[in-house]
Amino acid sequence: MSYCSNCGNRLGDNDKFCPQCGAPVGQQDDSRRRSHFDGELHKCPKCGETLNSFVTNCPSCGYEIRGSKGISVVKELADRINQVNTLEEKNELISNFYIPNTKEDIIDFFILATSNIDAGSPCLEAWYSKLDQAYQKAQLLLGNSQEFEHMNDIYHRTKKKRKTKAFISLVFKSSSLRLFLIAALGVFLTVLGMFLGSLSDNPDSPFYYLGIIGMLIFMYCLLIFMCKALFKLEKSKK
């Protein structure tokens, strides 16, 4: 039994032309039915059932939809990124690139996004956006499968790393926040030193020196903060 490679219609044994679309029979692929109309119409390669988007198994025969197309989708994106030169073009390409629909495609695309994020790609924001999109589609397609559980772990670890990096970046950019954190460290050392010193029952305990150091750190930060406040006040009066 064979099928038309142009429209997917079943062919008779003696047909030289497809009775549906008129295409010459020629070299037909008995194991795969392909049909490409506007926007690409996909059919099950086993039974020929027309497939909707967001399906991982054929609704008629249960065949798992896995194909080389999904792998080529990821390769297509990687190749197209290498072909553009500017960062703006790469960001736009990644942001507008579609998320594939099959199980294998989603996993490959998810791995591609996380790999670029871990590598510190200059297009981080675009990759984070695609990671969110791939995760949402995986949640829809894969449900409670083991594959999705693994992707879920990777996704949340990646999101936590992003929050940590954002906080560290904020600390380095904000002098006031740095000053606050140093002052908080001074308070912590003061309390810790005094507490441990009181437990030792030794008035010369080195823990008291730790507390004194912490107090000095706090006083230094408080002095800097007051100087900054006075400077801003004077500047606003002018």
Q: Could you report the per-residue pLDDT of 182-225, keeping only the tens digit for each?
A: 889 999 999 998 888 888 878 788 888 898 999 999 998 888 88
| Confidence bin at 143 (pLDDT 50/70/90) | confident
Q: Which pLDDT belongs to residue 166?
A: 75
Among residues 65, 96, 119, the one where a domain terminates is 65
30 and 115 assigned to the same domain: no
- Report the distance separating Cα 115 and Cα 74, nearest Å: 12
Q: Which pLDDT belongs to residue 70?
A: 42
Tokens of 199: 């437990």
| pTM listed for this prediction | 0.47
Indicate whether 45 pLDDT > 70.
Answer: no
Instruction: State the average pLDDT over residues 50-64.
Output: 64
Give the count of domains, the chain.
Answer: 3
86 and 165 assigned to the same domain: yes
83 and 58 assigned to the same domain: no
Tokens of 19: 């009775």
Long-range contacts of 59-64, Cβ-Cβ distance < 8 Å, separation of 24 or more: 64/103
Instruction: Give the gyration radius of the chain's Cα atoms.
Output: 31
72 and 165 assigned to the same domain: yes
132 and 74 assigned to the same domain: yes
49 and 94 assigned to the same domain: no
Q: Which pLDDT belongs to residue 31?
A: 44
Q: Which pLDDT belongs to residue 43?
A: 67
Among residues 12, 33, 65, the one where a domain terminates is 65
Sign (positive/negative) of CA torsion 177, 179, 180, 182?
A: positive
106 and 146 assigned to the same domain: yes
- Maximum average pLDDT range among 27-36, 70-79, 146-155, 164-173: 146-155
Residue 123: name the closest of 112, 107, 139, 136 by CA. 112
Instruction: State the average pLDDT over residues 123-149.
Output: 87
Distance between first and last Cα of the chain = 90
18 and 91 assigned to the same domain: no
Q: Give residue-wise pLDDT tens across range 81-91.
A: 888 889 999 99
86 and 156 assigned to the same domain: yes
Residue 28: name the closest of 43, 42, 12 by CA. 12
Domain boundaries, position 14: 1-65
- Report the distance separating Cα 226 and Cα 16, nearest Å: 92
Among residues 24, 50, 65, the one where a domain terminates is 65
User: Is the distance from CB of 24 to CB of 35 less than 8 angstroms?
Assistant: no
The rounded mean pLDDT for the chain is 78
* Token pair 């109309």 in the structure block, residue: 37
Q: Which pLDDT belongs to residue 22?
A: 72
Q: Which pLDDT belongs to residue 188?
A: 94
SS3 194: helix
144 and 202 assigned to the same domain: no
Q: Which residues contact 88 (CB under 8 A, 6 or more apart)?
A: none
Q: Which pLDDT belongs to residue 191?
A: 92
189 and 143 assigned to the same domain: no
196 and 137 assigned to the same domain: no
